[in-house]
Structure 1
Amino acid sequence: MSRYNELLQAITVREGGREVHDPATGELIGRVPVQSAADVDAAIDRARAAQPAWAALSDEERVGHLNRIADAIEANAEALAELLSREQGKPLNGPNARFEVSACAAWTRVPAATPLPVEVVIDDGETYAEMHYRPLGVVGAITPWNWPMMIAIWQIIPALRMGNAVVQKPSEYTTLSGLALAHVVNTVLPDGVLNVVAGGGDLGSRIVESDLVEKIMFTGSTRTGKKIIEASSGSIKRLTLELGGNDAGIVLDDVDPEAIAEDLFWGAFINTGQTCAALKRLYVADAIYDSVVSALAEVAARMPMGNGLDEENVLGPLQNDMQFEIVDRLVASAKASGARVVLGGDPDRDAVGYFYPTTLIADIDPHNDLVVEEQFGPALPIVRYTDLDEAVRLANELDAGLGASVWSSDRERARELAARIQAGTVWINSHGTINPFVPFGGAKQSGYGLEFGVAGLKSVAQPQIIQG
Structure 2
Amino acid sequence: MDAAKEFARLSGTLFVDGGVRPSTAAARRAVIDPATGLKIGEIADCTPDEVEEVVARANDAQRAWWAESALHRAELLHEVARAMRRLRPDLAELLTRETGKPYKESADEVDWCVTATDYYAELGRHSVGQVLGPTVAGQLHYTLKEPMGVVVVILPSNFPLLLFVWEAAAALAAGNAVIVKPSEFASLTTLKFMEAFADLPRGLVQCVTGGGDVGRRLVEHRNTHMVGFTGSVPTGQAIARSCAETFKPHLIEVSGNDPFIVMPSAPLEVAARAVTFAAFMNCGQVCTSAERIYVHTDVYDEFARLVVAEVAKLRIGNGLDRVDLGPMGSAAERDRFERVLARAVEQGATVAYGGGRPEGFDDGFFFQPTVLTDVTPDMDVLHGEVYGPLAPLCRVSSFDEAVALANASPYGLGATVYTTDLVESHRAAHEIQSGMVWVNAPILDNDAGPFGGRKMSGTGRQLGAEGLDTFRHTKLVMVDPAANPQDFWWFPYSDDEAYPAR
Structure 1 length-normalised TM: 0.95
Decide which of 303, 310, 333 is 1:299's aligned counterpart: 310
Over 3 Å counting, the alpha-carbon distance change for 1:265 and 1:203 in structure 2 is same
Q: Secondary structure at 1:352's aligned position in 2?
A: coil
The residue that corresponds to 1:119 in the other structure is: 130
Give the aligned residue type for 2:89.
E
Decide which of 249, 253, 258 is 1:247's aligned counterpart: 258
- Structure 1 residues 58-457: aligned runs within 5 Å: 58-93=69-104, 96-114=105-123, 115-123=126-134, 126=137, 128-182=140-194, 184-310=195-321, 312-348=322-358, 351-457=362-468
Tell me the distance in 2 between the aligned counterparts of 1:363 and 1:48: 56
The residue that corresponds to 1:8 in the other structure is: 7
Tell me the distance in 2 between the aligned counterparts of 1:393 and 1:113: 41
- Check conservation: 1:405, 1:418, Cα contact below 8 A: no
Tell me the distance in 2 between the aligned counterparts of 1:384 and 1:319: 31
Give the aligned residue type for 1:330.
V
Tell me the distance in 2 between the aligned counterparts of 1:38 and 1:45: 11
Percent identity, aligned pairs only, is 34
Tell me the distance in 2 between the aligned counterparts of 1:461 and 1:6: 40
User: Deviation digits for residues 395-441 of structure 1, max 9, x if unmatched?
Assistant: 11111111111110123421212311111111101221011010111
Q: What displacement does 1:348 show?
A: 4.5
- Check conservation: 1:7, 1:79, Cα contact below 8 A: no
Using the TM superposition, name which of 282-291 and 21-30 deviates more.
21-30
- Check conservation: 2:43, 2:184, Cα contact below 8 A: no
Q: Secondary structure at 2:164's aligned position in 1?
A: helix
User: Deviation digits for residues 104-157 of structure 1, max 9, x if unmatched?
Assistant: 111111111222253223257725422221111110100111101111111111
Tell me the distance in 2 between the aligned counterparts of 1:46 and 1:4: 30
Q: What displacement does 1:28 show?
A: 2.4
- Check conservation: 1:24, 1:306, Cα contact below 8 A: yes
Tell me the distance in 1 between the aligned counterparts of 2:213 and 2:71: 37
User: Deviation digits for residues 253-309 of structure 1, max 9, x if unmatched?
Assistant: 211211222122111211111011111111000000111111111111111111011
- Check conservation: 2:262, 2:271, Cα contact below 8 A: no
Tell me the distance in 2 between the aligned counterparts of 1:228 and 1:117: 29
Over 3 Å counting, the alpha-carbon distance change for 1:63 and 1:9 in structure 2 is farther
Using the TM superposition, name which of 348-357 and 184-193 deviates more.
348-357
Q: Secondary structure at 1:72's aligned position in 2?
A: helix
Using the TM superposition, name which of 441-450 and 29-38 deviates more.
29-38
Tell me the distance in 2 between the aligned counterparts of 1:41 and 1:185: 24
Tell me the distance in 2 between the aligned counterparts of 1:85 and 1:291: 35
Tell me the distance in 1 between the aligned counterparts of 2:373 and 2:186: 33
Tell me the distance in 2 between the aligned counterparts of 1:168 and 1:454: 22
- Check conservation: 1:326, 1:375, Cα contact below 8 A: no
- Check conservation: 1:327, 1:379, Cα contact below 8 A: no
Structure 1 unaligned blocks of 5 or more: none
Tell me the distance in 1 between the aligned counterparts of 2:459 and 2:423: 28
- Check conservation: 2:87, 2:196, Cα contact below 8 A: no
Q: Secondary structure at 1:168's aligned position in 2?
A: strand
- Check conservation: 1:143, 1:220, Cα contact below 8 A: yes
Tell me the distance in 1 between the aligned counterparts of 2:199 and 2:324: 33
Q: Secondary structure at 1:462's aligned position in 2?
A: strand
Tell me the distance in 2 between the aligned counterparts of 1:413 and 1:368: 26
Q: Secondary structure at 1:287's aligned position in 2?
A: coil
- Check conservation: 2:34, 2:98, Cα contact below 8 A: yes
Tell me the distance in 2 between the aligned counterparts of 1:415 and 1:123: 39
The residue that corresponds to 2:49 in the other structure is: 38
The ranges of structure 1 where at least 4 consecutive aligned residues each deviate by more than 6 angstroms after the TM superposition are none
Tell me the distance in 1 between the aligned counterparts of 2:270 and 2:422: 15
Tell me the distance in 2 between the aligned counterparts of 1:145 and 1:415: 35
Q: What displacement does 1:186 show?
A: 3.1
Decide which of 26, 31, 51 is 1:20's aligned counterpart: 31
Structure 2 unaligned blocks of 5 or more: 14-21, 480-502
Using the TM superposition, name which of 365-374 and 445-454 deviates more.
365-374
Over 3 Å counting, the alpha-carbon distance change for 1:296 and 1:121 in structure 2 is farther
Give the aligned residue type for 1:122.
G
Over 3 Å counting, the alpha-carbon distance change for 1:217 and 1:283 in structure 2 is same
Tell me the distance in 2 between the aligned counterparts of 1:118 and 1:338: 57
Aligned length: 463
